[in-house]
Chain A
């Protein structure tokens, strides 16, 4: 018994990383069950949420090579959701549903999942800024996700079809790379990387225009 504890102690970091990974997966799986249970067809979602219903309609219509008729915003969002849906096919199939309903349900699931993955993405990003220790990153991610989603607005926009969490993730990544670039201003890869990420953010949501004065100031202070 003593030697077992010694072994566990020797590999304690790996053991804790494993335990925390399981905790993170459990948290993710639990939230995912809410997403799956919330899935419905475009028509039913329209009864409570006009934006989400039109979001489902746009994902259904989106292709990477063509115009989905909605040029205002969200190309990256709709195209990412379309790609996920394409790989899943018509899998959200409760018995008795018509083919178009099944396709819409899969679209609905894909857009909500993108939001949830985005929340995990930016919480993990924040953890990497705070610490280099993998167990602490995992623990902090679980903590930040739990605290973030305890706010009704944040969880509402995971369960409703909106691009805001994906936009937050892309902005977060762009912000992170921009900060890295500011620490080594001559690094061409970071310069190009941060600009490309801001471009993708612009293709996700047009709220990026609110940041134009900040970009002007950023470059004027270089």
Chain B
């Protein structure tokens, strides 16, 4: 039965992803690389994990029994689930949560919890379906309590949405200006080396621009870049307050740090090969960006 089940799972996986899904080595290699990104858990990551779990669950965990209490029960057949079934189902979210718990993965990846929490909520719903409900008059249940639930939702659109929206969009106009400047530099024939988290010109052809996560003077001189576009938030990962989540043992980390440190002061920078760069633009919104152009 398990093999037949696995067969259907694989069938759906391959059909939905065909023809990409026939290449199995790429996802496997991706997973193996991804696992290497995360370190074993430490006390800080455990605390972060616990905080994220509580933060993401407490409101809905309170709301589910409350909503169930004041609702007529479900037609569903979940009352037939045995305790063994509950254990089997619980494993489907407990194992992944435990595996996340064992890795230092949560600080940038709190969203990994979402699917497993949705399963936890459904599981709780199945459990509640087995419990007896209060007898409330039909009239009250059908006409009044849904409205109470609505009011309990403290406004149907939480404030977090506008806060998150403002955070995501607060620097858009500055980024559009920066994007125009980048396009204009490319049109002038400059060769750009960009940080991640910077706007870029999707229409630029050939090697007019390159985005990379690591940088060093040797490649900069060899490849002949004439403009650097830095995201200062990204630079700071190397130049100040190096986080415990930074993988400083990665090859290229020290060279990248040395490269960025040269630009930190903001003064004229000279490469080992003698190329001189000066800062021609700096926008100060959010993590902010700066552009350095070769002057000789």
Contact = CB atoms under 8 A, between A and B. Distances in A.
Interface of A: 12-13, 16, 20, 23, 26-27, 30-31, 34, 37-38, 40-44, 46-50, 57, 65-68, 70-73, 75-76, 79, 98, 100, 104, 122, 125-133, 135-136, 138-140, 142-157, 159-160, 162, 164-165, 167-169, 171-172, 175-176, 178-180, 182-184, 191-192, 195-200, 202-203, 205-207, 209-211, 213-215, 217-219, 221-222
26 contacts: A23-B150, A42-B202, A43-B179, A43-B202, A71-B23, A100-B202, A126-B122, A135-B142, A142-B153, A143-B63, A143-B152, A144-B63, A147-B63, A152-B164, A153-B52, A159-B161, A168-B115, A168-B118, A171-B116, A179-B126, A183-B80, A207-B112, A207-B115, A214-B94, A217-B91, A219-B2
Given A130-B68, A142-B153, A151 B160 contact: yes
Contact residues of A: prevailing secondary structure = helix
B95 A203 contact: no
A157 B56 CA distance: 13
Chain B, interface size: which category? 35 or more
Interface of B: 1-2, 5-13, 15-17, 19-21, 23, 26-27, 30-31, 52, 55-56, 59-60, 63-64, 67-68, 70-78, 80-81, 84-85, 87-89, 91-96, 99-100, 110-119, 121-123, 125-126, 128-129, 141-143, 145-147, 149-150, 152-165, 168-169, 171-172, 175-176, 178-179, 196-203, 231, 286-287, 289
A183 to B, nearest CB: 4
Contacts of A218: 88-89, 91-92
B13 A155 contact: no
Contact residues of B: prevailing secondary structure = helix
A66 B67 contact: no
Given A133-B72, A140-B149, A144-B63, 13 more contacts: A20-B146, A38-B165, A47-B171, A100-B202, A122-B118, A126-B121, A130-B74, A172-B122, A191-B8, A195-B6, A200-B12, A214-B95, A219-B2
